[in-house]
Amino acid sequence: MSEKIKKLIKAIAGAVFIAAVCAGIWYGLRVLLTDDTGSYTRVTLHEFYSQDNIDVLFLGASHCYRGIAPEITDEKLGLNTFNMGSSYQRIDTTYLLMKEAVELYDIDHIYVELSYNVAKKHAEFESDLTDTYIVTDYMKPSLRKAAYLLERSGDGDYANSFLVARRNWKKIFEPGYIKELAEKKQSDAYKNYEYPDNDEERYAGKGYVESDVEIPEGSFKNRPDEQTIKLEEIDPEWDKTVLDMIKFCEKHKVALTFFSTPLTSFRLLCYDNYDDFIDKVNGLIKESGSSTVEYLDFSLMKEEYWPDTSTLFKDNRHLNAKGAELFSSIFADYINGRLTYDELFHKDIREKFASMEPGFYGTEYRENADDTYYDCRLVINREEETKSFVTFISDEGEEIILKEFSSGTEFRIPMDLHGACVIGVGTSENDVQTYTTYY
């Protein structure tokens, strides 16, 4: 063996040794400093990589991992389905997971959840990589992952992206934290990838997180931050990635469907023009020229399949366990053809609300400019046909009428009032339903 080759072998061995030592040190630091004992995605990705095969894959943000129960879809479809949703999953992270899944498994169909809320925040979250890290931290090392992290990272992010322990470097000076974390990580539950359940929700397997929280009818309260869908706020990169996904799936002969989980009627009425988002996604599919890809917005579901009740939700965007069970079942029925599009869906949101009975869903409120009272609006379907009253019962028992029984939806609550707000809504005085909410 010539001297040159010997030297080269020595250099390569040295480089491998250095890389291994560095990787070892940083892995050790990550174990010591990074508390991932409460991470859903750690458990989900572990399960994701442990499957024999995935036939149907669901991708998307929290609406996805809280909305689709693979136990139900597995049973109804007779296939292995998997929910690879993660919090605020950006469309490019979805695309990354799609590529990862297609490489690992022989997938028949991918369902990608699209949400206006996440789409709108695509550009806003450009500099915040938390949503990315909660996925990439648990993905297996690969060039694809490295390339994605390089692309996502700004100049100040590279260390945080590639050296996970760096994000928590200050914890190195907290021996108590390190000791406590080490103990947590020594537990069998952590080692066996069991998610520590809490009182309200639990990890129910294959990416699905179910919640017992239930919203009582008419009790939604919301600041009117998002009164209208503003399509111009959606980053063109979001559009591009949707089109790239279509091309990718066509190339790899994987069926692709976009979907949105059902939103509450309260949320839909607050948006005012939700149909614009539906039109946008359908427009993108049309632009791609694909004849196989479709978009299913489950907010368009007819009342006979999806009852108009807030009790299926844990908040105004996410389904609870009851909602997810019903939704998963309906979704599976649609996938296996037991339900057709026309049977299940309205044409648009306008048609949906026009077909529904008048109903009251909650209150929108905002602080008045001089911070003395809240400007409130009752969110009511077919408000022109309804009348309402609002009475406030303060903590001291004093009864104050904020709105006489009349048409119109607006009223004011002085900010210094604390107590129960009784809202009555009906078409006439004999047909009034009351809801109580607290301020």
Binding site for other proteins (CB under 8 A): 14, 17-18, 21-22, 25-26, 29, 154-160, 163, 165-166, 169-170, 172-173
- Work out how close the CB of 163 gets to other proteins at its nearest, in angstroms, rounded to a whole number: 6
Residue 285's contacts (CB-CB under 8 Å, 6 or more residues apart) are 246, 258, 293, 294, 295
CA dist list (Å): 284 to 230, 240, 290, 299: 16, 9, 10, 19
- Work out how close the CB of 9 gets to other proteins at its nearest, in angstroms, rounded to a whole number: 14
- Work out how close the CB of 429 gets to other proteins at its nearest, in angstroms, rounded to a whole number: 60
| Comparison of 162 and 373: residue with beta carbon closer to other proteins | 162
How far apart, in whole angstroms, are the C-alpha atoms of residue 324 and residue 209? 10
**CA proximity to 116, closest of 285, 258, 311:** 258
- Work out how close the CB of 153 gets to other proteins at its nearest, in angstroms, rounded to a whole number: 8
Going by the DSSP 8-state scheme, the letter that residue 139 receives in this structure is S
How far apart, in whole angstroms, are the C-alpha atoms of residue 58 and residue 245? 14
| Comparison of 156 and 337: residue with beta carbon closer to other proteins | 156
| Comparison of 10 and 347: residue with beta carbon closer to other proteins | 10
| Comparison of 14 and 283: residue with beta carbon closer to other proteins | 14
| Comparison of 9 and 21: residue with beta carbon closer to other proteins | 21
| Comparison of 4 and 253: residue with beta carbon closer to other proteins | 4
DSSP sequence for 268-313: HHHHS-THHHHHHHHHHHHHHT-SS-EEEEGGGB-TTTS-S-GGGB
- Work out how close the CB of 152 gets to other proteins at its nearest, in angstroms, rounded to a whole number: 13
- Work out how close the CB of 11 gets to other proteins at its nearest, in angstroms, rounded to a whole number: 9
**CA proximity to 263, closest of 252, 247, 276, 274:** 274
How far apart, in whole angstroms, are the C-alpha atoms of residue 436 and residue 439? 10
Return phi, psi of residue 27, to 5°: -65, -45
143: left (phi over 0), alpha (psi -120 to 50) or beta: alpha
- Work out how close the CB of 56 gets to other proteins at its nearest, in angstroms, rounded to a whole number: 38
